[in-house]
Amino acid sequence: MKSLFAFISLVYFFHPSIAQDDLLQELITEPIEAPVIATFKGTRVINGQSVETKPGGSLEFIFSHRFGRINEGAYTLWGLDDAFVRLGFEYGITDRLGVGLGRTSVDKSYDAYLRYKIVGQAAGKMPLTITTLGTMNYKTSPKQGDSTTPIDVEDRISYVAQVLVARKFNQNFSLQVNPLLVHRNTVDQAYENNTDFALGLAGRHKITRSLAITGEYIYRLNAKPNSPPDYIRYDAVGFGVDIETGGHVFQLVFTNSLGLIERAVVTETTGNFWDGDIHFGFNITRTFQLTRKR
């Protein structure tokens, strides 16, 4: 009987430590499925979109500005005499779903879009962030009556669909690829496509806690060759510097595209970056939390 009591006592004495060792081993071997945040600092890289979505209940104000071409020289103060802007808002319905609306002064276009994050990168679980985005544009220029030919409502409408796939490789470096489709209802079909396909590539490298450099290239996949001078278009190229200042993100950009929405960036970029047709500009974003965070 004394031997039995001694055996039972030993079992109860060692059992807690065995359980603790098992739990510690599980914690060591089981990957931590932590969500990866801030793949890019804002919803825009330079001209194009990023995989980022706004938190539910938050409203982002986006002010984008482009000047004229730097190589125009001192007469236009290296492009600073000209100003082209887009004012936009994006609201996070949920942490994954957002809706946006904007107006661009370049061709007096309105754009509305839906953004949905299908999956987010998570350490030990998911290696990528995938976001889809659908946009409708309405171009009000030229004004009805100013054109030599009648322009119907349908002629002014275009659509954009894209899938954005990104990975944050470490705390400093992120890379994104995004195939996209641009459909314009009415074009000069002798020299333009109703539907254009493109492939975007973007990257971000963090230098300090509040400073990062970005790059973006959008390659047109089915551009028509041998176009006359008035219809020559180029791939959009851009480089930028992101500066985070509290609730603001301030992006300084250099790009050959004057467009501030995807339709214009992909199908209407008339400057050659490598020939010096570069526009200086900036994007400023400010986020307001309209509802209480859960």
228: confidence class by pLDDT, cuts 50, 70, 90: confident
pLDDT at 10 over 80: no
Summarize pLDDT for 68-95 with one digit per residue, the tens.
Answer: 999 999 999 999 999 999 999 999 999 9
142 preceded by cis ω (within 30°)? yes
pLDDT at 143: 81
Average pLDDT taken over every residue of the chain: 88
- Looking at the chain, the number of H-run helices and the number of E-run strands are 2, 12
Mean pLDDT in residue range 119-123: 94
Q: Say which DSSP state 34 is in.
A: P
User: Distance between CA atoms of 177 and 167, rounded to whole angstroms?
Assistant: 9
The residue type found at 231 is: Y
- Token duo for residue 110: 């309105």
The residue type found at 22 is: D
- Token duo for residue 272: 């050659």
pTM of the predicted protein model = 0.84
272 vs 226, more confident: 272
Residue 85 has, within 13 A of its CA and on its CB side, a CA count of 7
Q: Which CATH number fits domain 31-289: 3.40.50.460, 3.20.20.70, 3.40.190.80, 2.40.160.40?
A: 2.40.160.40
Contact 140, 170 (CB under 8 A): no
294: confidence class by pLDDT, cuts 50, 70, 90: low
Mean pLDDT in residue range 271-291: 94
